[in-house]
Copies of this chain bind each other. A is one copy, B any other.
Amino acid sequence: MFNQKIVASLAKSSMIRAMFEAGAKLKAQYGEENVFDFSLGNPEIEPPVPVQESLKKYVNSATPGLHYYMSNAGFEDVREKVAAHLQKKSGAPLTKDHILMVCGAAAGMNIALKALLNAGEEVIVLAPFFVEYLSYIENADGKPVIVNTEKGTFHIDVEAVKRSITPKTKAIILNSPNNPTGVVYSRESLENLRTALEEKEKEFGTSIFVLSDEPYVSIVYDGVEVPNMMSVFKNCVIIYSFSKSHALPGERIGYVAASSRIDDVGTLMGAMITLNRTLGFVNAPALFQKVVAENLDVAVDTAFYQENRDILYNHITSVGFECVKPSGAFYLWMKSPIEDDVAFCQTAQKYNLLIVPGSGFGCPGYARIAYCYGTEMIKRSLKAFTNLAKEYGLI
C-alpha cells in the first residue's frame, strides 16, 4: 500500500538506530548508569557559553522580524559572515553568493547531490562511510560507487579511487575528520587525490566535484592539521554542520559553501537555493542562523573529547583490541576479534556495552565506539571492555 522500497528498507533499517533501541531496553532493565551506550554520535555536552549567550541575547531582545521568512539562501548578513570566515581559512575569495544556509549537513548533502547529479551519474564513497550517504545519493537518482580506503590505516587509496572513475563520475564524498574511523586526511594525500581527479577529468572531459562533509573539522587532537578543502580542490563544495562544533545537533543548522573557482558557480548556487525550497527545507532555522553567525570562531572544548579518547584508546588497546588512534572526530574504530562484527557487537551487549557493527558503515570486521559521552561513564565502562576482551581470549 505504501512505497514498497521504503517499506522493504524498514526491516534492515539503520543499525545505529537499532542499537539505540536495544540500549533503551537494557537501560530500563539494568538502570541508566549500568549501561555503556557508545552507539550514537549525540554529544552529551551543552553549547559553548558564547553560543548560549547569543541565543539569550536574541530571544530576550525579541528582535522584530527575527522569525520571519528570509531568502531561501539564508539571511544576507549571516551569509556574509560565513563567507568572510571561510575566506580567512581557505585563502580563496568568497562572498555571500557562495554560501547557502541549510538545516544541517544532511540537508546540505541532499541539496548539493541533487543540484549536481543527472540520473545515473556516479558518486564515489570511501568505505567505511556514514551509511546515510547511500540514501542521499539514491534520493538524487545517483549511483554510489564504493571504494575501500587503505587496509588498516583507512587513509585514501588514491590508486583505487582513480581506477573507479568513469565518464559518469560526478562527485566524490570526503569526510575528514572521518566518521567512523577518526582519521584525518593529510594534505599530501589530498593533493595526490587532486592529481588523480584532474587526470581523469582531462581523460574523460568531465568535471568531478569534491563534496567535503565537515562536521568534525574543528574536533582534532595532537595539533593535527586539517587541510582546507577549497585550498586543495577547484571543484569543491563544503558541507558544514554546527551540530558537533557548537553542540547543537537537535537544532539543524549548517551551511553549504561552493568554491568561487567552480565554473558557472552562480548556476550551481541558484540550483541549490531553489532545491532548498523545493526539497522541503525552505530555509535554515532563522534564530540559529543569527546565533551561529556570531560564533563562527567558537567551538566546543576539544580537551573533553581528547580525554575520553585517551582513556578509552589506552584501555582497549591495553586489553588486546586493535584500534586506529583517532586524530579527530569522536569515534574509535576497533577491529572485531572475530570476522562477524554483528555477532561481536551482540556479545558486547552481554556486558551492557553498546557499540555499532562496522557492517553498518560498509566495512565488516570492525565496530564503532562513539566517545562523545560523559567521562565518568567512559571510566565506568572500562571493566566491561576488559571482560569483553577476556571472552575472546585477548587477555
Count identical subunits in the complex: 2
Query: Which residue from B46, B118, B263, B271 sits with its C-beta under 8 Å from A10?
Result: B271
Q: Is A207 an interface residue (CB 8 A)?
A: yes
Does B46 lie within 8 Å of A62, measured CB to CB? yes
* Cα distance, A144 to B134, chains bound together (Å): 27
* Cα distance, A106 to B277, chains bound together (Å): 8
Q: How far is the CB of A23 from chain B (nearest CB, A)?
A: 12
Chain B residue numbers with a CB within 8 Å of A182 are none
* Cα distance, A395 to B207, chains bound together (Å): 60
Q: Is A132 an interface residue (CB 8 A)?
A: yes
Supply 23 A–B pairs (Cβ within 8 Å), ascending by A: A2-B115, A2-B264, A3-B271, A5-B118, A7-B267, A42-B68, A43-B68, A46-B62, A52-B62, A60-B60, A70-B250, A103-B252, A103-B280, A106-B277, A106-B282, A107-B280, A107-B282, A132-B278, A251-B287, A252-B281, A279-B280, A280-B281, A287-B287
A262 to B, closest residue via Cβ:
B1
| A 108-120 binary contact with B (CB < 8 Å = 1; else 0) | 1111001111100
Interfacial residues of chain A within 91-144, with CB under 8 A of chain B in the complex: 103-104, 106-111, 114-118, 132, 135-136, 139-140
Does B132 lie within 8 Å of A274, measured CB to CB? no
Does B116 lie within 8 Å of A2, measured CB to CB? yes
Q: Is A9 an interface residue (CB 8 A)?
A: yes
| A 257-288 binary contact with B (CB < 8 Å = 1; else 0) | 00000011001101100110111111111111
Interface residues of A (CB under 8 A from B): 1-7, 9-10, 13-14, 17, 40, 42-44, 46-47, 52, 55-56, 59-60, 62, 64-70, 72, 103-104, 106-111, 114-118, 132, 135-136, 139-140, 207, 247-252, 263-264, 267-268, 270-271, 274-275, 277-288
Does A280 lie within 8 Å of B2, measured CB to CB? no
What 5 A-B pairs come out closest when comparing CB atoms?
Answer: A250-B286, A110-B280, A135-B278, A106-B280, A107-B280
A284 to B, closest residue via Cβ:
B252
Does B281 lie within 8 Å of A6, measured CB to CB? no
A253 to B, closest residue via Cβ:
B285
Query: Which residue from B6, B13, B207, B288 sits with its C-beta under 8 Å from A1?
Result: B207
Chain B residue numbers with a CB within 8 Å of A140 are 3
* Cα distance, A163 to B70, chains bound together (Å): 41
Q: How far is the CB of A305 from chain B (nearest CB, A)?
A: 16
- Contacts A271-B6, A277-B132 known; A46 to B64 CB distance under 8 Å? yes
Does A278 lie within 8 Å of B139, measured CB to CB? yes
Does B52 lie within 8 Å of A118, measured CB to CB? no
Chain B residue numbers with a CB within 8 Å of A103 are 103, 252, 280-282
Q: How far is the CB of A299 from chain B (nearest CB, A)?
A: 15
Chain B residue numbers with a CB within 8 Å of A43 are 68
* Cα distance, A118 to B230, chains bound together (Å): 39
* Cα distance, A59 to B290, chains bound together (Å): 15
Query: Which residue from B17, B115, B279 sits with its C-beta under 8 Å from A110?
Result: B279
Does A59 lie within 8 Å of B62, measured CB to CB? no
A290 to B, closest residue via Cβ:
B250
Chain B residue numbers with a CB within 8 Å of A60 are 56, 59-60
Does A249 lie within 8 Å of B55, measured CB to CB? no
A109 to B, closest residue via Cβ:
B280
